[in-house]
Amino acid sequence: MKSISLIQFLIEEKRAGHINSELSLLIEVVARACKRISVAVAKGALGGVLGNAGTDNIQGEAQKKLDVISNEILLEANAWGGHLAACASEEMDDPQPIPDAYPKGHHLLLFDPLDGSSNIDVNVSVGTIFSVLLCPDDIDEVRAEHFLQKGTEQVAAGYVVYGPSTLLVLTFGHGVHEFTLDREHGSFVLSRRGMTIPAQTSEFAVNMANQRHWEAPMQRYVGELQAGSTGPRGRDFNMRWVASMVADVHRIVTRGGVFIYPLDARIREQGGKLRLMYEANPMAFIVEQAGGAATTGRERIMGLQPTGLHQRVPVFLGSKDEIEVVTRYHLESDDSRT
Ligand code: AFP
């Protein structure tokens, strides 16, 4: 079978009218940066990249050396390309403008440079997540508020998994496609076109250690899954939890399942654990494009009007039928309390 490189695929997408030249260039640059991150991740202890950087990010979380390195790689790669108006990252309080020395483009890039970083030191898959928006016209200086667009406004989203293989999964709103990094040739090659998530599943991903802090509808839903064939669902379910959202979502995009990071009593005030702009929205876009669903347990993630660059939300995504059940449980519970 003739292999199709990412570059060829992007040309096809341009010809199909799905993307313009600037967006194509932006994706090429992001993919090139992720190849460099992949090399750094793979070096592990030999590259001197493991362990803490000794700093905290905006969320007050300790940064790993690879968090900082990955952030710098993505910033540096994107600064001079001429396709961005600004970018924003999990690792930076405020958006990063494009330096005056470089031409500016019309896109905004948001990213989590290295998601699942607690897994770095134990050699488990980590990833990069990114979301692309259009910059509003006639903006002299891009500020955080210009990024606060609904997930439905995304023009592209993707993630890269640094696992046994390095994979790029991408959507422009016309299906979800997977590219595998050919390490010998240094190029991403199309490995799956039009990925789809089955509507039904018997697999769920959630951090069960937090169970006692969950809301009642979440207790009900997972309790029923755990009861398996002896409970109301009448069949057994299996559980998987990598603690790298990218790896868990990739399993779901590949073979179905649900991924849940719900509200719990300890994180209620901050709105959830995962970040809307560079985790939940891009993953929701990919999952919906693959035929799945993504909600906060109550409403569609991509319909939320963002209020902050680093805003957190509860996340329920994956196989459509299961997301409908757990979302219905939350809405029924809310109704019964009013
Ligand atoms: P880190 O990047 O701090 O490791 O967080 C990863 C993450 O945001 C997401 O990728 C995981 O699904 C989730 O947090 C893991 O959460 P738990 O620590 O509760 O397992």
Q: What is the largest CA-CA distance in the chain?
A: 66
Report whether residue 115 contacts ligand 1, using a CB cutoff of 6 Å: yes
99-112 in b/e form (b: 16+ CB < 10 A) is: eeeeebbbbbbbbb
* pLDDT at residue 52, as a whole number: 80
Strand 258-261 to strand 312-313: parallel, antiparallel, or no bridges (unpaired)?
unpaired
The residue whose CA has the least distance to atom 16 of ligand 1 is 243
Hey, how many other C-beta atoms are within 10 angstroms of the C-beta on 205? 22
The pLDDT > 70 percentage for the chain reads: 99
Which of 115, 161, 239 is the best mutation target for the ligand 1 pocket, counting ligand atoms within 8 Å of the beta carbon and taking the most? Answer: 115
pLDDT-derived band at 61, boundaries 50, 70, 90: confident
Q: Higher model confidence: residue 141 or residue 15?
A: 15
Whole-model pTM: value is: 0.96
Six-digit token string for 35: 């190849």
Averaged pLDDT, 221-232: 97
Report whether residue 207 contacts ligand 1, using a CB cutoff of 6 Å: yes
**Cα 262 to middle of ligand 1, angstroms:** 12
Report whether residue 78 contacts ligand 1, using a CB cutoff of 6 Å: no
Whether residue 1 has pLDDT greater than 70:
no
* pLDDT at residue 3, as a whole number: 92
* pLDDT at residue 19, as a whole number: 97
* pLDDT at residue 121, as a whole number: 87
Atom of ligand 1 nearest to the CA of 248: 12
Rounded to the nearest 10°, the torsion over CA 256, 257, 263, 265 is -160
* pLDDT at residue 226, as a whole number: 97
pLDDT digits (tens, 9 = 90+) for 266-297: 999 999 999 999 999 999 999 999 999 999 99
* pLDDT at residue 138, as a whole number: 81
Averaged pLDDT, 192-221: 97
* pLDDT at residue 216, as a whole number: 96
Report whether residue 61 contacts ligand 1, using a CB cutoff of 6 Å: yes
Report whether residue 267 contacts ligand 1, using a CB cutoff of 6 Å: no
Averaged pLDDT, 6-10: 98
**Cα 296 to middle of ligand 1, angstroms:** 17
Which spans in 173-318 are helix H? 216-227, 245-255, 281-289
Whether residue 212 has pLDDT greater than 80:
yes
Distance of CA 311 to the CA centre of its chain: 14
Residues 6+ apart with CB under 8 A from 56: 62, 63
Which of 119, 125, 126, 207 is the best mutation target for the ligand 1 pocket, counting ligand atoms within 8 Å of the beta carbon and taking the most? Answer: 207
Report whether residue 56 contacts ligand 1, using a CB cutoff of 6 Å: no
Cα→Cα distances 89→70, 96, 97, 99, 281, Å: 11, 8, 12, 16, 14
Whether residue 249 has pLDDT greater than 80:
yes
pLDDT digits (tens, 9 = 90+) for 119-168: 988 999 999 999 999 999 888 889 999 999 999 999 999 999 999 999 99
| Pairwise CA distance, residues 308 & 254, whole Å | 31
* pLDDT at residue 175, as a whole number: 98
Q: Which residues are bridge partners to 171 per DSSP?
A: 157, 176
Averaged pLDDT, 176-187: 95
**Cα 117 to middle of ligand 1, angstroms:** 8
Which of 65, 244, 316 is the best mutation target for the ligand 1 pocket, counting ligand atoms within 8 Å of the beta carbon and taking the most? Answer: 244
The residue whose CA has the least distance to atom 13 of ligand 1 is 243
| Pairwise CA distance, residues 66 & 121, whole Å | 10
* pLDDT at residue 253, as a whole number: 98
Six-digit token string for 231: 């409970």
Atom of ligand 1 nearest to the CA of 209: 19
| Pairwise CA distance, residues 236 & 37, whole Å | 39
* pLDDT at residue 51, as a whole number: 77
What sign for the dihedral angle of Cα 245, 247, 250, 251?
Answer: negative
The closest alpha carbon to 38, from 65, 5, 70, 71, belongs to 70
Q: Higher model confidence: residue 212 or residue 337?
A: 212
Q: Which of 112-121, 229-238, 304-313 bottoms out in mean pLDDT, i.e. has the lowest?
A: 112-121
Give me the chain's average pLDDT, please.
94
Whether residue 230 has pLDDT greater than 80:
yes
Report whether residue 118 contacts ligand 1, using a CB cutoff of 6 Å: yes
The closest alpha carbon to 319, from 292, 288, 286, 281, belongs to 292
Cα→Cα distances 258→45, 250, 275, 315, 320, Å: 33, 11, 18, 10, 9
What sign for the dihedral angle of Cα 201, 295, 113, 110?
Answer: positive
pLDDT digits (tens, 9 = 90+) for 88-107: 998 889 999 888 888 889 99
The closest alpha carbon to 159, from 251, 68, 237, 262, belongs to 251
* pLDDT at residue 48, as a whole number: 76
pLDDT digits (tens, 9 = 90+) for 322-333: 999 999 999 999
